[in-house]
Amino acid sequence: MATTVAPPTAAPTYPNVATADVRLPSVTSYEQVDEEILATLHPTVTWFLGLGAAVTALLIGIACLMYQIYSGLGVAGYNPPIMWGVYIITFVFWVGIGHAGTLISAILYLFRAGFRTSIYRCAEAMTVFAVMTAGLFPLLHLGRIWKFFWLIPYPNWRLIWPQFKSPLVWDVFAVLTYLTISATFFYVGLLPDIAVLRDRETNPIRKQIFASLSLGWRNSDREWRHFARAYLFLAAFATPLVLSVHSVVSFDFAMANVPGWHATIFPPYFVAGAIFSGMGMVFTIIIPLRRWFGLKHYVTLNDLDAGAKLCLFTSMVVGCAYLSEFFIAWYGGSPVETQYFWNRVFGEWWWAAWIMLICNCVLPLSLFSQQLRRNTTWLFILSLFINLGMWFERFVIIVPGLSHEFEPWQWSHYTPTFVDLGILLGSFGWFFMWFLLFVKQLPIVAIAEVKEIIPPRRRGVHDGNHGIRRPVKPGRVPVTVPGDD
């Protein structure tokens, strides 16, 4: 939140190469920020096509759900004892995706990580929509969706309360708390930006809607003072919450006596995996957006580079967790565990395990190369592999464990049906439908926070660069950064 002010010097600038003093060199005035970011809100044909595709995917998912409700859970491919399948895999996948948003907005805020500013709004929106998506899957998995409220502790005529020692009840609390806090954090951060929209909007109906949503925010010193304090405390609350939620999700597995699940490494392993997958999804979303919306000078290569380093670090933590699991299975001397892990990598599910290992541990090693970290095409392709690998990580945890329990008579097979896959597709449709609606209604880059890192206008400096300028060496031309296509 610090406002850095440097003495003015008389020299022109060259674009988009950041330094410690000048984070967004091509952004020179507050008015420019408003103009360029608000310009992203105009709908385009591509946007309508994307929204149409997302709604179609969602409708396919809804049709499959209707069929499942009509026919019963048997159509979902469950094969006892494998009673957790695509729905729980996808639940964990989306909760994991939802972790990067609050990580970026809360933890990186507390650490004052500069690269957060330009990407956190997208990441927060992604979090809210991902957790909204994740929350659907335990309900779908119930079969009788309309009984979901049995998990909520409320005084009822049967005098029955939830079992608070059950990880499934912890999960309800953790995920609902996370959804509430993420949505609150998202909305509070949006207030000043909604006020900008309100003040620039010409359509009276939309202006009225933004006026209501902004709650009458006036940018006064009183509002900024309490806003800054509240934002700090929200970040301080959200930080342990991020770490706790996926730990609680991991307890769903670690508290069960199933081979491969009953391990104390699960909470940190799940948290690292969640951050890793969340960063993957951030790249999947932000790289096309910065290109389509012409925001390369806001979401700079430096920001992507820093995000890629975080991705690399969490990939290595996840890789270390995989190796630890294998090592403990061997070192622990339990034949069941040993056989389970052997089966995971060389048995029936070898293909899933190798997809996981290659996508999550091998390909991300490419990020040791700075050239590849700053190559947006490669980052985007890699992010797709990370999404795929992290979905398969949850598959590899859940399905081989349940299909290869302690006794041979418990061993079974699992094949997802079209209903599973249709609902999985529908979840992506649901997520992207909300996200696409968001990108055309609200700013995807935090206007107020970007203004905070631009040096403010000062007396005697009228070049529109707010006083901070960087000298151009003789003969130097504007830099084209390799990989920033």
Q: How far is the CB of 194 from other proteins (least distance, A)?
A: 10
The verdict on 95 binding other proteins (CB under 8 A) reads no
CB of 46 or CB of 163, closer to other proteins: 163
Tell me the H-state helices in 74-166: 86-102, 108-110, 116-142
Q: Any contact of residue 164 with other proteins (CB under 8 A)?
A: yes
417 binds other proteins (CB under 8 A): no
Q: Does 205 bind other proteins (CB under 8 A)?
A: no
Residue type at position 226: H
Q: CB count, 10 Å around CB of 326?
A: 15
> Is 77 one of the binding residues for other proteins (CB under 8 A)?
no
* Token code pair at residue 115: 């690269």
Please tell me whether residue 208 binds other proteins under the rule CB under 8 A. Answer: no
| CA–CA–CA angle 289, 292, 293 (5° rounding) | 80
Query: CA-CA distance, 360 to 318, in Å (whole number)?
Result: 8
Q: According to the binding rule CB under 8 A, does residue 298 interact with other proteins?
A: no
Is 398 a binding residue for other proteins by CB under 8 A? The answer is no
Kindly state whether residue 257 participates in binding other proteins, applying the rule CB under 8 A: no
Contact with other proteins (CB under 8 A) among 20, 159, 205, 477: 159
CA distance 134 to 273: 16
DSSP 471: P
Q: Which is nearer to other proteins, 235 or 311 (CB)?
A: 235
Q: Which stretch binds other proteins (CB under 8 A): 58-66, 152-160, 354-362, 372-380?
A: 152-160
In eight-state DSSP terms, residue 257 is -
Strand partners, 79: 82
For other proteins, the closer of residues 333 and 460 by Cβ is: 460
Identify residues 3-42 at the interface with other proteins (CB under 8 A).
3, 29-31, 34
Q: Given the complex with other proteins, which of 270 and 432 has the nearer CB atom?
A: 270
| CB of 203 vs other proteins, minimal distance in Å | 15
Residues in contact with 30: Cβ distance below 8 Å, sequence separation at least 6, in sequence order: 451, 454, 456, 457
Residues 6+ apart with CB under 8 A from 49: none
Binding residue for other proteins (CB under 8 A) from 222, 413, 473, 476? 222
- The rounded Cα 404 to chain-centroid distance in angstroms is 32
With binding defined as CB under 8 A, does residue 452 bind other proteins?
yes
Quick check: 237 binds other proteins (CB under 8 A)? Answer: yes
What's the rounded Cα separation, in Å, for the pair 110 and 472?
Answer: 34
* d(C-alpha 190, C-alpha 184), whole Å: 10
Cβ 276 vs Cβ 315: under 8 Å: yes
> Residue numbers of the site for other proteins (CB under 8 A)?
1-3, 29-31, 34, 153, 159-165, 170, 173-174, 177, 180-181, 184-185, 188, 192, 195-196, 198-200, 211, 215-230, 233-234, 237-238, 240-241, 244, 248, 448-449, 451-452, 456-459
